[in-house]
Amino acid sequence: MTRRLLLTAVVALAAAPALGQSPGRVYGGADIGLSIFHDNNATVPGLGTASVTYSTGFAFGVFAGYRFGENVRLEGEIGYKAADLDTFAGQSVTDSSLTVWGFMANAYYDITQLRWPVTPFVGAGLGLAYGKAKSPAVTASDTVLGYQIQLGFNYRASKHLQLNARYLYQGSQDFVDSGYKVAYGSSNLLAGLQYFF
């Protein structure tokens, strides 16, 4: 009887890690949300430099990464942000927009020590930002150094699937083309999912 109980305990302990198995290390995902372009300055030939404001815009991204242990992740991300210009030098503007493609390498730290139902994380990224400003008169574009910082949380819905929500600040060097110069920074509220293989 004692041997049977001991054998049952050993089998249960051996099976426990498999039942509570963490997701795989390789993952991919996507998210979508709102992009709020910060008021900035823009230089337009013939009009000079003035403040620019934007309407609330749209953002989405796709990403793939690798998880090192319980806390550290590295990933590559392609993200898109777009917003219409609202005013230039205090005057209303129509049919003008700024779009930004970001090609970023991100590093994350997952705060698993808290053992909460959700896992908070912080992250930072560096890469390239391709910006395109469009108006009825002209289209200007430039590729510059971009960066971002973010924080959010993941919720593990199943062994392989996680839901996430994050705040992301993205900025870059000024976009410059043919006398046009546009400063860029945006705050983004995103929600999406990750699948761990």
- Confidence (pLDDT) at 3: 52
Q: Which two tokens stand for residue 83?
A: 């917003």
Q: Which two tokens stand for residue 29?
A: 């995902």
Q: What structural domains and CATH numbers belong to the chain?
A: 25-196 (2.40.160.20)
For residue 3, the one-letter residue type is R
Record the pTM. 0.85
- Confidence (pLDDT) at 101: 98
Neighbour count for residue 65 (Cβ, 10 Å): 21
- pLDDT tens for each residue of the chain, 197 residues long: 545 544 444 344 333 333 345 568 999 999 999 999 999 999 988 888 999 999 999 999 999 999 999 899 999 999 999 999 999 999 999 999 999 999 999 999 999 998 889 999 999 999 999 999 998 888 999 999 999 999 999 999 999 999 999 999 999 999 999 889 999 999 999 999 999 99
**Is residue 115 classed as helix, strand or coil in its secondary structure?**
coil
Spatial separation of the C-alpha atoms in residues 52 and 171, rounded to whole Å: 16
- Confidence (pLDDT) at 19: 37
pLDDT digit string (tens) for 130-144? 999 998 888 999 999
Please provide the size of the chain in residues: 197
